[in-house]
Amino acid sequence: MAGLCSSLATAHAQEIAPYGSLPSQAQLNWQDMEYYMFIHLGPNTFTDKEWGHGDEDPRVFNPTQLDARQWARTAKAAGMKAIIITAKHHDGFCLWPSKFSTHTVRESAWKDGKGDVLKELSAACKEYGLKFGVYLSPWDRNHPAYGTPEYNQVFANTLNEVLSSYGPVFEQWFDGANGEGPNGKKPTYDWPLFHQTVYKNQPNAVIFSDVGPGCRWVGNEDGFAGTTNWSTLNITGFAPGKNAPPQSVLNEGNMNGEKWIPTECDVSIRPGWFYSASTDDKVKSVQNLLDIYYGSVGRNGNLLLNVPVDRRGLIFSADSIRLMEFRQIREAIFKTNLAPKAKVTATNTRKGNKKVNARYLIDGNSKTYWATGDDQLTGAITLEYASPVSFNRLVLQEYIALGQRVKSFSVDIWEDGAYKEIATGTTIGHKRILLLPDVTTTKVRISIQDALACPVISEVQLYKAPGLLAVPAIQRNKDGEVSITCSSPDPELHYTLDGKEPTYHSPKYTGTIHLPEGGVVKARAFLEKGKIASTTVTATFDVAPAKWKVTFTDGQADGADPVRAIDGNPNSYWMTNYQPDAAKYPHEIQVDMTDTLTLKGFTYTPRHQTIHSGTIYTYAFYVSLDGENWGQPVAQGSFANIANNPVIQYVKFNSPAKGRFIRLVALAPANENEHWASVAELGVITR
């Protein structure tokens, strides 16, 4: 009897106890999806805006060739698993004929008001075996009830309508933005009511927001999670929007965090979220997309890549071509897993548990695993080869159904009779992809150095990624001299200045190109006499600030000299003093262009940083002939979505303005608590 008891106790002791906050089955399924499409479509597509005001004529929405099957076909061919669409963005416009709004497809010109985008897309997703998700913004700049206590129920009704009408919804995307409505008021959102409404209709939906509960925002719109990234997060005292945890915390999660809220990295394939013809030549390069993939899926996050639908209602060719190129390169990289060819051994392997085996580390199945014994927080996995193998990518996976555990690890290879460390890392989670130098060896060792509980690892994979010809970078300095560089060794660089696609026979870049008056530069890198070519990169310049001088600012922080706002370098900036006792808004900068020009607009390049950046939100822009009489502003407004997506802003004037002096007045900051303002680059539009 005593013997039986103790053997039961031993058997029991070999079971792996789950650790910490755990994923639900819906979250596990979600994490396996890894990569899916975001689609932004609405009146903004037709008005060339990022944030519509809700006062636009709904008739502007008229995507006459809309074909949701083309979107689904593209997503499927791109290797994506789902599509999430902006069913309702901040302008309040509903892509379905909602009973609770008068700003919908029903009021639009599209299909004489008889269309329903959600109906077409949900059917197309079903046809192509994709999951379907919806974005709905509680911030509604159109709805008359917004900003009143009744609005929460209106929004819940709207949600209920969407979630009960179009079949299964795998993810409900909640935008935390909480701006003013038509009556100038901001409401307090009733999140518990919204969540109940989701779960009542779609019990398996994963709810996205800054703080989940299903998955969380990664803290930026660039697509990059932290190199340390916990799927657990502390949420007590936090809410979506301005009461969210700091962006750095969203980026890395909290070790031992209260809830399992994994990361989703949302990023657009273009500079903005909505389609604009002006960004047709700014579709991200394959290399950019690959960096984003490594920075999201490769760092324990899912990648939600936005591909905006154009005015016809179709995905534009440049975007879909890029998606296919991106799929091809991923397939080439992850084609041959070298791990299964190895003899795999491990130290500290848990005994007496049939589910645990070092062999399962290389079986290509993320549901089978190896683990150490209880209280053993370290362990080493070795892959040994009869003859040398060459690789440069390492994929590691934890069996996250039992919690996220690994805190640090290192990678060694066998070289000249000893181990040599080639990489270290912190967290792993669902998936970690390490970029290694090209190495050739007969032995690879992965050492788990610290963990919150016994490590449970499901996969170790090795790949040899082919070299990718880097896309050239085009820069212009203050004097208007353009330089083209490329990080790949010895490429030949060819360019055009006439807007045509560069070929191997286009002018070869040998030195500086003088372009003080501006123009369009397109460049490509070539290897092997033109047989291998990079994608094209395009840079559009206006008048260079060669002779410009700053004539006035209302202060500066140490080292943030005003001249840096007009030095042609987007990485240097002018910023006002940020000390607590320093001057508050408004702030301003005045510039003498030394030539009198006819201006069609201006550009503002913010610092590429989301916090403490001094980014300007509301502005007034003036033009003057003498630098003394400024008159009325030629443009006044806000830079939509600049806090989260700090990219260059193009502002067109209603009518051209002639002058020699320009003046940017910063009226309000993008981040509520920052009383300082900054300009990385100020430019003009003359073309």
> Which residues contribute to the site for ligand FUL (CB under 6 A)?
50-51, 175, 177, 266, 273, 641, 644
Residue closer to ligand FUL by CB (options 310, 588) is: 310
DSSP character for 483?
E
Residue closer to Ca ion by CB (options 408, 569) is: 569
Residue 572 contact among Ca ion, ligand FUL, none, beta carbon within 5 to 8 Å by kind: Ca ion
Residue 177 contact among Ca ion, ligand FUL, none, beta carbon within 5 to 8 Å by kind: ligand FUL
Residue closer to ligand FUL by CB (options 241, 568) is: 241
Q: Minimum distance from CB of 561 to Ca ion (Å)?
A: 10
Site for Ca ion in 571-630 (CB under 5 A): 572
DSSP notation for 141-191 = SS-TTTTSTTHHHHHHHHHHHHHTTSS--SEEEE-------TTS--PPP-H
Residue 310 contact among Ca ion, ligand FUL, none, beta carbon within 5 to 8 Å by kind: none
Q: Minimum distance from CB of 475 to Ca ion (Å)?
A: 12
Residue closer to Ca ion by CB (options 53, 612) is: 612
Residue closer to ligand FUL by CB (options 20, 295) is: 295
Cα–Cα distances in angstroms (integers) from residue 356 to residues 359, 370, 447, 457, in the given order: 9, 5, 18, 10
Q: Minimum distance from CB of 682 to Ca ion (Å)?
A: 9
Residue 567 contact among ligand FUL, Ca ion, none, beta carbon within 5 to 8 Å by kind: Ca ion
Q: Minimum distance from CB of 132 to ligand FUL (Å)?
A: 17
Site for Ca ion in 663-682 (CB under 5 A): 680-681
DSSP character for 284?
P
| Cross-strand partners of 668 | 618
Residue closer to Ca ion by CB (options 324, 557) is: 557
What whole-number distance in Å separates Cα of residue 628 and Cα of residue 656?
A: 19
What's the chain's Rg over C-alpha atoms?
27
**Token pair in block for residue 91:** 């302008």
Strands 35-39 and 301-306: parallel
Residue closer to ligand FUL by CB (options 40, 522) is: 40
Instruction: Return the sign of the alpha-carbon dihedral for residues 229, 468, 524, 514.
Output: positive
Instruction: Return the sign of the alpha-carbon dihedral for residues 633, 634, 636, 640.
Output: negative
**Token pair in block for residue 261:** 């809220």
Angle between helices 317-333 and 286-296 (to 10 degrees): 60
Stretch that binds Ca ion, among 162-170, 364-372, 456-464, 560-568 (CB under 5 A): 560-568
Q: How many positions of this chain bind Ca ion (CB under 5 A)?
A: 6
Residue of 76, 330, 494, 564 interacting with Ca ion (CB under 5 A) = 564
Q: Minimum distance from CB of 567 to Ca ion (Å)?
A: 5
Q: Does 562 bind Ca ion (CB under 5 A)?
A: no
Site for Ca ion in 529-548 (CB under 5 A): none
What whole-number distance in Å separates Cα of residue 653 and Cα of residue 621?
A: 10
Residue closer to Ca ion by CB (options 210, 567) is: 567
Q: Minimum distance from CB of 495 to ligand FUL (Å)?
A: 34
Q: Minimum distance from CB of 183 to Ca ion (Å)?
A: 40
Residue 499: how many other CB atoms lie within 10 Å: 12
What whole-number distance in Å separates Cα of residue 251 and Cα of residue 223?
A: 10
**Token pair in block for residue 536:** 């094209």
Residue 637: how many other CB atoms lie within 10 Å: 14
Residue 564 contact among ligand FUL, Ca ion, none, beta carbon within 5 to 8 Å by kind: Ca ion
Q: Minimum distance from CB of 458 to ligand FUL (Å)?
A: 32
394 burial via Cβ count (<10 Å: 0-12, 13-18, 19+):
buried
What whole-number distance in Å separates Cα of residue 68 and Cα of residue 312?
A: 11
Residue closer to Ca ion by CB (options 287, 678) is: 678
User: 361: helix, coil or strand?
Assistant: helix
Residue of 569, 577, 618, 686 interacting with Ca ion (CB under 5 A) = 569
Q: Where along the sequence are the contacts to Ca ion (CB under 5 A)?
A: 564, 567, 569, 572, 680-681
